[in-house]
Amino acid sequence: MMARRGFIAGSAAMAAGPAGAAQPMYGLIGKMLTKPGQRDALIGLLAEATGAMPGCLSYIVAADAQDADAIWITEVWDSPASHQASLKLPGVQAAIARARPLIAGFGERFETIPMGGVGLTPKSA
């Protein structure tokens, strides 16, 4: 029987692919809390400000179905480096500055390894 750590390490290696293969995609799912009544304004700002981000394969802003002051952002990037680089883009920096007054805080945050799905083409090795 394989030890749990060995199974987890092997699974992670398989997800990364063979040596020399392309890096796996990078995903983020995060909850953002808005100041009361500011959810729609923040959704509009984020939706308009996320057009040209190199390496961004998907960026979805959704209203929380239960909390009138919460949104979920689901991102898929070709790599963690592309995500980090996007945070330095002038347009993204300007959107962050405009969004700050509307944000009350942050909730859960999850990093993922997207593997494919409707509207998302898996990266080839």
Q: Do the domain assignments include residue 64?
A: yes
pLDDT over 70 for what percent of the chain?
Answer: 78
27 pLDDT more than 70 = yes
CATH code of residue 36: 3.30.70.100
Q: Do the domain assignments include residue 58?
A: yes
Q: Transcribe 12-45 into DSSP letters.
A: HHHHH-STTSPPPPEEEEEEEEESTT-HHHHHHH
Neighbouring CB atoms inside 10 A of 26's CB total 21
21 pLDDT more than 60 = no
Q: pTM value? A: 0.77
Q: Do the domain assignments include residue 89?
A: yes
* 71-114: pLDDT as tens digits: 999 999 999 999 999 999 998 899 999 999 999 999 999 999 99
Query: Apex CA 88: angle with CA 108 and CA 39, to 5°?
Result: 40
CB of 34 within 8 A of CB of 104? yes
CA distance 113 to 101: 31
How many domains is the chain partitioned into structurally? 1
Q: Do the domain assignments include residue 33?
A: yes
pLDDT: is 27 or 92 the higher one? 27
- Supply the pLDDT for residue 124: 59
CA distance 118 to 52: 21
